[in-house]
Amino acid sequence: MASVPASGAALTQSHRRVILASSLGTIFEWYDFYLYGSLAAIIAAHFFTSLPSGSAFVMALLTFAAGFAVRPFGAIVFGRLGDMIGRKYTFLVTIVIMGISTFLVGILPTYASIGIAAPILLVVLRCLQGLALGGEYGGAATYVAEHAPNGKRGLYTSFIQTTATIGLFLSLLVILGCRTMLGEDAFKEWGWRVPFLISFVLLLVSIWIRMKLNESPVFQQMKAEGKHSKAPLTESFANWKNGRIVLLALLGATAGQAVVWYAGQFYALFFLTQTLKVDAVTANLFIAAALAIATGGFIFFGWLSDKIGRKPIIMAGCLLAAITYFPIFKGLTHYANPALEAAAKNSPAVVVADPKDCAFQFVPGELKGHVKFNSSCDLVKNLLNGRSVTYTNEQAPAGTLASVRIGSTTIQGVDVSSLSPEDAKAAQAKLTADLTAAINAAGYPAKADNAQMNKPMVLLLLVLLVLYVTMVYGPIAAWLVELFPTRIRYTSMSLPYHIGNGWFGGFLPTTAFALVLLTGNIYSGLWYPIVVAVFTFIVGTLFLHDTKDVDINQ
């Protein structure tokens, strides 16, 4: 059995082995969770086929976010179990739930086979994944921290912090391998299921790893002394002294950390593929390379946090991200798809429409039953959004049909509400053809040209985004663990972490692309992570204290 490490002592070989085993299991769990996000565009085509292209992708992202929405509930359920019965058995249960749910996504019938039941079942499985992940991270971070000696907790918990990025990296590699071996057409048709099915093998490996783990020595000692909590939820959240720290940890640490994490990795990937029209293989290779280059930053900033503190590094990461996101993402456009940037500059688009004629296309019309995207304004904007054409809005008199000015060309919208289905279809087809011709003539590319792409600069900007991720994420586990007492640590740290990462972070891609649909500006989505990161910087700087010298064994 591993013992409680003395202050300043080095970890024994036994301690290193259990930390490695814990990290490997967590990597596999993150791999399962992020497969969906990496394949959101393909999944949208199979499970949301009744929606316009822009809305279908946003709905796919919303389903992705559903897993994040329930993570705090998983944190409550499994955090309570972890503080009452132990760390080891709790995250053995979480890995089983995660692995089985992921495998079932791989065999789930599509919308074409079972209709509306398909996206409903998909959401259910994503929620099960979220519940499992809600119990996983707090247990893994607490488990590793309670094996680490004082003075090295930031370094050793930073290895757990690499697991989310390595899990994403692993999912990208498996997806790239499947795309290459099966071919793009076969992968989009059925091969996308293979990475989900592979998770069953990872599940068996993870169970074997978790079964070999010993319980946390700090928890064992506390339980042997009869000091463990019998009501961790009450002690964590009904007690204002501890509840205040939970709230500050959310607003002053994890919320900003979360948006920087998801903006720097997932939103960057979606921005490349959906907005800049970089082909999926190239975009995945870019992200995978950036992760491989910058992942060492987790270890470096974890180590550095043992020297100068957790708080200054995380606050600096939030501030740097907020200041530089707009120039970085505009730089990605400049270097990844210069033709798109040039077209937007030389032939700006203006939608002239009655605002009452324009719906917020984030709303899924067929699911809501009352919003149909077939007004003249909606038809025009859906086409522009699909080609990543940034546009501004100009108000027209009430009742006026929408029109689009692209450079010196004006395309008149159509009103299909009073037409027969056949005539409406023909009118929409003509509008699509006319507007597509105008977009092409203005130089807006249908996809990014690899020959014009400045690949080193794209990679450099992506590495910079991931380095921000390592700054805010590398020290966060140690900071959260040290903020709370051992008897309620699993419960107390899990909730703010999973509300921050599950709600503030997990909904980032959905919120960001919804803002793009709302405004017509491809950069509008960046306002969400910027505002949250600045808010966290202010709250964390003013109200949270640093904890690097706290002895959690006391």
Q: What is the largest CA-CA distance in the chain?
A: 80
Among 344, 364, 314, residue whose Cα is nearest residue 479: 314
How far, rounded to the nearest angstrom, does the alpha carbon of residue 448 sit from its chain's CA centroid? 24
Q: What is the pLDDT of residues 117-162, one digit of tens each?
A: 888 888 888 888 888 877 777 777 777 787 778 888 899 889 888 8
Q: Which residue has the higher pLDDT, 175 or 134?
A: 175
Collapse the DSSP code of 295 into the 3-class scheme (helix H, G, I; strand E, B; otherwise coil) and give the result: coil
H/E stretch holding 406 reads strand 403-406
The DSSP element (H or E) to which 9 belongs, if any, is: none
**Nearest 5 degrees, angle CA 205-CA 206-CA 208?**
65
Q: Regarding beta strands 391-395 and 349-353, do their DSSP bridges make them parallel or antiparallel, or are they unpaired?
A: parallel
The predicted structure's pLDDT at residue 475: 95
Query: Of 374, 371, 407, nearest to 391 (Cα)?
Result: 407
Q: What pLDDT sits at residue 370?
A: 37
Domain ranges of the chain: 13-337+450-543, 342-441
Output the CA angle 532-492-126, nearest 5 degrees.
65
Fold of 342-441: Glutaredoxin (3.40.30)
> Considering Cα of 39, then 41, then 45, then 49, what sign does the dihedral take?
positive
In angstroms, the CA 232 to CA 286 distance is 44
Q: What is the pLDDT of residue 247?
A: 94
Q: Average pLDDT in the 335-346 region?
A: 95
* Residue range 272-317, pLDDT digits in tens: 998 999 998 899 899 989 999 999 999 999 999 999 999 999 999 9
How are strands ordered across the β-sheet holding 409-412?
391-395, 349-353, 403-406, 409-412
Neighbours of 550 (CB within 10 A): 16
pLDDT, one tens digit per residue, over 90-121 is: 777 888 888 888 899 899 998 888 888 888 88
Whether residue 202 contacts residue 101, with contact meaning beta carbons closer than 8 Å, is answered with: no
Q: What percent of the chain has pLDDT over 90?
A: 37
Question: Rounded to the nearest 10 degrees, how much is the dihedral formed by the CA atoms of 55, 56, 62, 66?
Answer: 150
> Can you read off the two tokens belonging to residue 270?
């979606």
- Which run of H or E residues covers position 544? none
What six digits make up the tokens of 45? 């085509």
What the block records as the tokens of 106 is 């791989």
Cβ atoms of 83 and 487 within 8 Å: the answer is: yes
| Contact (CB, 8 A) for 551 and 150 | yes
The answer regarding whether domain 13-337+450-543 maps to CATH 1.20.1250.20 reads yes
- Mean pLDDT, residues 449-467: 97
